[in-house]
Structure 1
Amino acid sequence: MIILAGYIPTPEGLAAVDAAVAQAQRDNARLVVVNAVHHGNYADPNFAEGRDLDALEKQLAASGVPHEVRQPTEDTAAGDSILNAAREVGADLIVIGLRRRSPVGKLITGSTAQQILLEAECPVLAVKPPA
């Protein structure tokens, strides 16, 4: 089994990785973590820097889960990058983090999350960070 987690250096991204690690440990699965940003924009605050990736790698190594971390830089939307990676590795599950939203904001899911939920060819687990 292969689990793919969408990661950004935020509480939502960390919640996705935590949930994906826990699922991978339960299922004896391989984990692919993807840090994708809108159109490969290195200046985007969601583009993980070296220290973020080092901390992520340390967490994944400590979990004992076989894993790889990808940081695509192609000129595509973040949702497309995650979906492309999921197809490429044959993901059985995609895990994404969701932001807490206001009552009005709940009417509209984030565009990346919405795209993944609607277009993924496998189940998607959406998680929120702890309160």
Structure 2
Amino acid sequence: MYHVVVAVDEDTERARRQAQAIENLPHAAEDVAVTLVHVFTDNPDGASATQIGAVRRAQERLEEAGIETKLEEQSGEPAASILQLAESTDADCICVGGRRRSPAGKAIFGSVSQSVILQADRPVLVTGGLEGVGE
């Protein structure tokens, strides 16, 4: 079984693209298992990952495609949490949603996807950062 950790934020369109990329993996329904993870950086109300629309949509889409799916929620720094989960579950791949950002925007605000790509010790699949590309 090929295990993918899929890091989902609050953006429903990015989550849709991530789920679509996983569905498009060879023999996904038979050979792929997914752990969806949402990392809360600030969660004073004690929300659950199942309350995040993007997480629910991704989970529903993957399950409809027959892909084995588990859900995790973490708190803390997103990139570090995603990388730790991938290591602790011995994931074969990490899937993150890309977004269009200027070089200055990346330098000022950082990028979870960029941090995961640079620090991961396993393949990272980046999906749908640009509107209309790959569709």
TM range (shorter): 0.7 to 0.9
Deviation at 1:111, TM superposition (A): 2.5
Structure 1: which 5+ residue stretches go unaligned? Answer: none
User: What TM-score, normalized to structure 1?
Assistant: 0.76
CA RMSD of aligned residues (A): 2.9
Q: Secondary structure at the match of 1:23?
A: coil
Which residue is 2:111 aligned to? Answer: 111
Structure 2: which 5+ residue stretches go unaligned? Answer: none
Give the total of aligned pairs.
Answer: 125
Cα gap change, 1:95 to 1:112, in 2 (>3 Å): same
The separation in 2 between residues aligned to 1:128 and 1:69, in whole angstroms, is 22
Deviation at 1:57, TM superposition (A): 3.0
Which residue is 2:6 aligned to? Answer: 5
The separation in 2 between residues aligned to 1:15 and 1:110, in whole angstroms, is 22
Which of the pair is proportionally richer in strand?
2
Deviation at 1:92, TM superposition (A): 0.7
Contact 2:29 2:68 in 1 (8 A): no
1:1-21 C-alpha deviation (Å, 9 max, x unpaired): 111111113122332232123
Cα gap change, 1:103 to 1:110, in 2 (>3 Å): closer
Q: Secondary structure at the match of 2:64?
A: helix
- For 2:17, give the aligned amino acid: A
User: What TM-score, normalized to structure 2?
Assistant: 0.74
Q: Secondary structure at the match of 1:36?
A: strand
1:35-74 C-alpha deviation (Å, 9 max, x unpaired): 1132xx126xxx855262443332222010111011113x
Cα gap change, 1:21 to 1:72, in 2 (>3 Å): farther
